Amino acid sequence: MSGLRYTSEVWTAMHRSELIEREIRPVDARIEKLRADIRTSVRRIQSLKAEGHATRSSVRTLAMLYRTLDAERRYRNAVLKLINSRLRA
């Protein structure tokens, strides 16, 4: 049986997938949680409006959730760029 040798491209791909798994998975989980919170908040605001209640503080909370989601997405993209640049060097 001949020894199986991996090329540097295979090692790089394996290392990249490990880095992405370790670094990106927690960020993806936070993004999914934020999206669920946003959906819940939107439903709550719709319910408050239907009942004739004030929604100003709920709308501010929703805006903060959207800003946080945007920041998490930008962070995720920056980490992916860093991983890719680190493996190319």
The DSSP call for residue 16 is H
Q: Quick check: 3 pLDDT over 70? A: no
- Mean pLDDT value across the chain: 88
Who's near 89: CB < 8 A, 6+ residues apart?
none
Segments making up each domain of the chain, as ranges: 8-88
Q: What percent of the chain has pLDDT over 70?
A: 93
Q: Quick check: 69 pLDDT over 80? A: yes
Contact 69, 31 (CB under 8 A): yes
Q: Is pLDDT larger for residue 73 or for residue 20?
A: 73
pLDDT in tens, 40-51: 999 999 999 999
Q: Is pLDDT larger for residue 82 or for residue 67?
A: 67
